[in-house]
Structures are given as C-alpha cells and as structure tokens.
Amino acid sequence: MMKDMTRSKAIKIWFAAVALITAAVIAYGVNLALSTWTVMLAVCLVPPIFLIMLWHDGGSRTIAEVIYDAEQRH
C-alpha cells in the first residue's frame, strides 16, 4: 500500500483527516478561541509542507550510474 502512495495522496489524506477532526469539533459544539484555531491551522499546514520539502522525487543513483557519469564528464 505504501509503495503506491504519492505525495499528493498523502497530503490529501492529511487534509481529509484534519477536516474530519474539525467537523467533529464543530459538531460537538466545542467553543474554540482564535488561538486554538491558529494552532489547528498550523497542525494542518506544517506536516504537508515538510512532506513536500523532504519527499524524495526519484530513486537514488547506483554506484554504476555515479561511476559512468563521472567517466562521461572527462
């Protein structure tokens, strides 16, 4: 399952989870202050930002690819 996970799918799942939690909070009638909403917004946005920054786009290069590339440059 995790091999088929793309960056966009992971971010969509994250935002869906945060939306469900927010909907549950509103449905149960919890009174939230502005500072609490600010924290919830940060919790919603910070992990996807790190995910975008740290997600490796391609496979790592093999030793053969590194050596062959080094030979081609000379």
List the domain boundaries for the chain: 2-73
- pLDDT at position 71: 62
- pLDDT at position 15: 83
- pLDDT at position 72: 67
- Residue 16 to residues 11, 13, 37, 59: CA-CA distances in angstroms? 9, 5, 17, 28
pTM higher than 0.85: no
Per residue of the chain (74 residues), what is the pLDDT tens digit?
566 777 778 778 888 888 888 888 888 887 778 888 888 788 878 887 887 777 766 667 788 877 876 666 65
